[in-house]
């Protein structure tokens, strides 16, 4: 192997490394929350507090928040904890750190940003459901719930990514 092909190989490896970081952080976070589901409470409880402060009608019981709305019970539990969003956000931030494009401080911000994004998702789902009840379109509650969740998380992620991309590395 000649020296120029070695440096070319290292160059390709250096370009591939941030993607390895991205995938590794995502899968390690997912594995962490899968193996220690009680850690999801660190996302469920504060998110429920935020939603309750805006919406009210909530109560915490057995590791879940319960919100009553228009004779419908909304449950904020393990499946709605926001840990998937946190895993994606942490992986993206780790990727940007690996490419020397952002500060390590963003990893600290990932947790409160996830709480805000998840609170926005829960609130938008409740308000979307209440709108469906007014229009007597309750049969669309499931797809609308998923749609509002996707839109809330996508908008949150894109907004955070925009801020990270616009800031200077010396943050």
Q: Is 35 exposed, middle or buried (0-12, 13-18, 19+ CB in 10 A)?
A: exposed
- pLDDT per residue as tens digits for the range 95-149: 998 887 778 899 999 999 999 999 999 888 888 887 776 676 667 777 888 888 8
Q: How many domains is the chain built from?
A: 1
Per-residue b or e along 42-71, where b marks 16 or more CB atoms closer than 10 Å to that residue's CB: ebbbbbbebbbeebeebeeeeebbbbebee
**pLDDT bucket at 80, cuts 50 / 70 / 90:** confident
What residue has token string 């290292």?
A: 10
Q: Would residue 171 count as lying in a domain?
A: no
Q: Would residue 157 count as lying in a domain?
A: yes
Q: Would residue 94 count as lying in a domain?
A: yes
Q: Would residue 61 count as lying in a domain?
A: no
What is the Cα–Cα distance from 21 to 100, expressed in whole angstroms?
Answer: 13
């Amino acid at each position: 192997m000649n020296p120029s092909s070695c440096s070319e190989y290292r160059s390709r490896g250096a370009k591939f490394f941030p993607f390895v970081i991205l995938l590794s952080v995502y899968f390690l976070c997912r594995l962490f929350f899968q193996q220690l589901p009680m850690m999801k409470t660190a996302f469920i409880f504060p998110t429920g507090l935020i939603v309750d402060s805006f919406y009210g009608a909530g109560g915490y019981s057995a590791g879940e928040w319960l919100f009553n709305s228009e004779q419908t019970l909304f449950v904020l539990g393990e499946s709605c904890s926001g840990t998937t969003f946190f895993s994606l956000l942490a992986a993206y931030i780790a990727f940007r750190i690996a490419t020397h494009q952002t500060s390590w401080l963003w990893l600290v911000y990932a947790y409160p940003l996830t709480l805000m994004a998840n609170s926005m998702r829960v609130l938008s789902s409740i308000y979307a459901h209440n709108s469906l009840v007014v229009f007597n379109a309750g049969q669309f509650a499931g797809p609308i719930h998923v749609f509002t969740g996707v839109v809330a998380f996508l908008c949150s992620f894109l907004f955070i990514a925009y801020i990270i991309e616009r800031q200077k590395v010396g943050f």
